[in-house]
Structures are given as C-alpha cells and as structure tokens.
C-alpha cells in the first residue's frame, strides 16, 4: 500500500488560511443559520480549551499528591507502609491511567469526545472518594483500599488525556489566528496545566500541614486527597453542556474502522509518538513523584515540611519549561522542539549525576540544577509529547486524522504511562542497589539521562515533521481510504450539525 503522502489530490489539500477558503453551505440554509452554528461552535470550542486546561490541573494534582503524602505515611503507619506498598500506591494510579487511556481513546472516536469526558469525570470523582474514605481493620487493609481508589481515579484521569488532548487540538483548529499559535495554546492547556497541578499539590499539602500545626495526622492526607474532586465536580456542569468539535462532527467515521489500512498508513508516527512518550514518562514521573524523597535522602535532617517545600520548588521549574517549549513549537517546529528538549535534558542529567558529590552539599545549588533538569524535560518532550505532554499531545494530535485521533493518542499516552509505571517501579530498587545514598541518587540521574538521549534519537528519526491544519490531514486520510476502495459515511451534514447543536444547548 502506498504511503498517505502519495495521495494528494487537489481536494485533499485544504488551506484554511487562504483568503479564498470558504466553507460549502448546502442549498436551503441561510446565512443566519450558518452564523448561529459558527457562533455556538466558537463559544463551545473556547470553553472546551479552558475546561480541558482546568481539568488537567487536578489530574496533575491527583497524580502528584501521593508523592507528598508518602513521607507522612511512613511516619504514621510504620507497620503497613512498606517499600512494596509505597510502590503500589504510586503505580496504582498510573496503571489505572493506562487502562483509561486505551478504553477512552477508543470510546471517544466511536461515540464522541463529550460522552467520553463525562464518564471519565465520574470515574475520577468516584476514585478520589474511595481513596479519601479509605479504612481497614489493619493498616495494610486500609492501604489496599487506598490502592483500589487510586486505581479507579487513575482510570478516570487516563480518560482525560485523549479527550482533553483531542478536544484542545480540534478546538484550536476553529480559528485561523489560534491555529497559528496552536503550540503555545496546547502547551498551556495540557502540559502547563498538569505541571501546575504538581505545584498546587505541594502548596496545598503545606497549607494543610500548617493548619494541623505540622503534626502528622491522618486528617492531613484525607483532606489533601479529598480536595482532588472539588474542581472536577465543578467542571462537570460545563462538560455536559459542551458540543462536539467541528472536526469530529464532520469527520467521525460512521462505520467500522479499517485497522489494517490505518496501521499501514500510520505505523511510523504511531511508533515514534509511543516510544518517545515512553522514554519521557519513564524518566520524568519517578523524578517528579520522588522529588521529596530524593531531596530528603540527600538532606536527612530536614523536616517533612522542608522536604515537601523543596519538592514543590523543584516541580515549579516545570512551568517555565512548558511556556518556552510552547513558543518553540510554533517557532522551530514540533519535532525539532522535542528533539532539542530531549538532548538538553540528557546533558543536564549527565552533569548532575557526574557532579552530585560537590553540589549536594550546597542545597540551593542542587535545587536549581534539579529544577533546570526538570525544566528541560518540559521544554522539549514534555510540551511536545505529553497530551501527555503538549508536544507529545500536539505531535500525536497533528500526526493522525480526526476519525482515529483518539485511538492513537490514547495508545501513545498508555505506552507513556507504562513507561511511568516501570520507571516508578524500578526507581527505588535501583537507588537502593548502590552502596550508599549518594551513589544511588547519582545512578538514577545517569540512567535517566541515558533514556532521555534515546528519546531524542527516537524523536528525530520517527516523529513526522508536520505543522498543518487538521482539515488537510483529514482530507488526505479520506483520499487514502477511497483509493484503497474503503469508502463510507463520514460526519454530519450542516443540517444535522444544526439539529445536534440546538438539541444539546
């Protein structure tokens, strides 16, 4: 089968930026109907972008808060908090996300983005409630209930990745002005939002600890976990009122998916985005979740508040990296930004690992270097690969057409989270395998840097260099299927769009 790029008939290349571009309006529809549809779509698209960003803030919060609570668990529940339970608490959320990404990635291409996000929110809220209310006749029993709750919440949060990622990318395609700045827009509403959740988690933990006069009480972790469902519940009202994006309404497949043809066409970007996301999450999640542990191991006399505070400061370095990466994606391209970030990330990891001895005795210097290490990760692979995240999100969104975008974005994100689960699982054993704490920390930095460098090679060799409107990719995909003798119903007519929009609003 010939590659997709071979199929470029005149009707397949749609330049929405051209002044002569005009949507076709069926006979029988007046300008007022078309104008009403465009107005409603614009409002809904704006809300989609804003709500997606806010939702992912608390996904980041729920993912990170466990890292700040684990030192508290070690003091409160010495009998039940073993290294095995510690790892399972961290991994349950990630494993739940993997299943959520795969399930909802398929679901949103079949029945719509809006339906997927509603059910994802319900699972997230249910999981947070179970975690917050965790009890047991023994400490071990309580932790297992917490693990189940975290897994359920992770399943819902995993659904947020393909739904919010596709929603933000497709909504940003509604406007020519926004389309030219899609890189920074998607960066702010995906990667920046998730990392902001990391920082918010640390700030909330410090505030709750202060309210408890820095006493290690079970009320601290229950309040911290419980706050994780406040915003998702608030946003639920807006989500059930949103309509599907114009891209999905026009291009959703109304028949079974020809998976063999799709894989023949998109195997390379599928492999590239998935492996790059794996490398990124394998490194960034352990270093993010265990930031307080790393700092505490190098400064054993620090208090719980100091360790959480230092970890929050380190995670705050993610934020400028997201912003810089967003601008770079629009300036030099998605693929180039991802590769550059991976390489710089690896170099900084080698520097910290090689010079850990002299730098660890100067806490501010170590924090700054550790923070820059995290920032480089977000500047390139984070903002470019993670819907997961913006370049990964964006590379994934722009590499695949609308009818199958959820499938592949969910798959790439799931592979990434598999890397996160593996990285989190092996992080502590690797660190403990060395003769002393310093060498253990040094070892994980050097190993992380090696994986980051591999991610750079994967990005350069396998990620497609694309920066076009989504409509063009959808038209090329249709032309490809038609050339293969696979044609069928796509999307809705303008009349159907108006009826659907009127019904939902």
Per the model's pLDDT, the better-predicted residue between 337 and 378 turns out to be 337
Domain 34-504 top-level CATH class: mainly alpha
Residue 13 falls in which region: left (phi positive, over 0), alpha (psi -120 to 50) or beta: beta
The domain ranges of the chain are 34-504
Over the range 439-456, which residues count as b (16 or more CB within 10 Å of their CB) and which as e?
ebbbbbbebbbbbbbbbb
Q: Which residue has the higher pLDDT, 252 or 18?
A: 252
pLDDT band at 504 (very low <50, low <70, confident <90, very high): very low
What are 345's two structure tokens?
A: 């990330």
Q: What is the mean pLDDT of residues 291-310?
A: 68
**Average pLDDT score over residue span 397-407:** 77
389 has a pLDDT exceeding 80: no
CA distance 471 to 480: 14
d(CA 367, CA 296): 12
For residue 66, pLDDT over 90 is answered with: no
The predicted pLDDT at position 299 comes to: 60
Stated as kind and residue range, the H or E segment containing 295 is helix 291-298
What number is the average pLDDT over the span 453-464?
86
Token pair for residue 65?
């808060």
pLDDT tens for residues 209-254? Answer: 999 988 888 899 999 999 988 878 887 777 777 767 677 777 777 6
Q: Which of 252-256, 388-392, 415-419 has the lowest mean pLDDT?
A: 388-392
Give the tens place of pLDDT for each residue, 72-106. Answer: 888 889 888 887 888 788 789 888 988 998 999 88
């Amino acid at each position: 089968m010939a590659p997709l790029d071979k199929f470029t008939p005149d009707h397949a290349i749609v330049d929405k930026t051209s002044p002569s571009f005009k949507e076709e309006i069926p006979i029988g529809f007046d300008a007022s109907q078309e104008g009403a549809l465009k107005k409603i779509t614009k409002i809904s698209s704006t809300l989609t972008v804003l709500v997606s960003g806010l939702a992912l803030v608390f996904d980041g919060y729920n993912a990170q808060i466990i890292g700040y609570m684990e030192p508290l668990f070690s003091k409160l529940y010495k009998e039940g908090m073993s290294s095995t339970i510690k790892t399972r608490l961290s991994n349950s959320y990630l494993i739940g996300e993997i299943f959520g990404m795969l399930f909802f990635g398929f679901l949103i291409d079949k029945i719509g983005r809006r339906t997927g996000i509603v059910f994802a929110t319900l699972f997230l809220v249910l999981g947070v409630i179970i975690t917050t209310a965790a009890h047991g006749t023994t400490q071990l029993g309580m932790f297992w209930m917490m693990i189940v709750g975290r897994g359920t919440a992770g399943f819902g949060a995993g659904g947020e990745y393909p739904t919010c990622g596709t929603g933000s990318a497709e909504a940003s395609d509604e406007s020519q002005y926004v389309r030219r700045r899609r890189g920074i827009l998607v960066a702010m509403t995906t990667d920046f939002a998730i990392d902001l959740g990391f920082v918010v988690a640390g700030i909330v933990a410090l505030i709750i600890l202060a309210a408890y006069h820095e006493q290690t009480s079970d009320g601290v972790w229950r309040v911290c976990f419980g706050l994780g469902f406040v915003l998702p519940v608030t946003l639920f009202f807006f989500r059930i009122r949103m309509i599907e994006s114009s891209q999905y309404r026009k291009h959703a497949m109304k028949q079974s998916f020809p998976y063999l043809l799709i894989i023949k066409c998109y195997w390379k970007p599928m492999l590239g985005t998935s492996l790059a996301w794996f490398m990124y999450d394998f490194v960034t999640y352990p270093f993010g979740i265990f930031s307080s542990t790393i700092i505490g191991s190098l400064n054993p006399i620090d208090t719980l508040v100091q360790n959480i505070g230092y970890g929050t400061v380190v995670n705050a370095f993610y934020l400028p990296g997201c912003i810089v990466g967003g601008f770079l994606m629009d300036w030099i391209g998605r693929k180039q930004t991802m590769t550059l970030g991976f390489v710089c990330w690896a170099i900084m990891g080698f520097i910290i690992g090689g010079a850990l001895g002299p730098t660890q005795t100067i806490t501010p210097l170590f924090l700054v270097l550790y923070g820059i290490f995290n920032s480089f990760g977000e500047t390139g692979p984070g903002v470019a690969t993670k819907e997961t995240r913006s370049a990964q999100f964006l590379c994934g969104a722009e590499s695949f057409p609308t009818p199958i975008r959820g499938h592949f974005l969910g798959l790439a994100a799931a592979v990434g989270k598999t890397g996160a689960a593996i990285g989190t699982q092996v992080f502590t054993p690797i660190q403990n395998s060395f003769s002393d704490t310093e060498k253990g920390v040094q070892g994980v930095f050097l190993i992380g840097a090696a994986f980051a460098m591999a991610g750079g090679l994967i990005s350069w060799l396998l990620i497609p260099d694309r920066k076009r409107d989504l409509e063009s990719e959808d038209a090329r995909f249709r032309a490809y299927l038609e050339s293969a003798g696979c044609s069928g119903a796509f999307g809705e007519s303008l009349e159907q769009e108006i009826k659907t929009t009127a019904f939902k609003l």
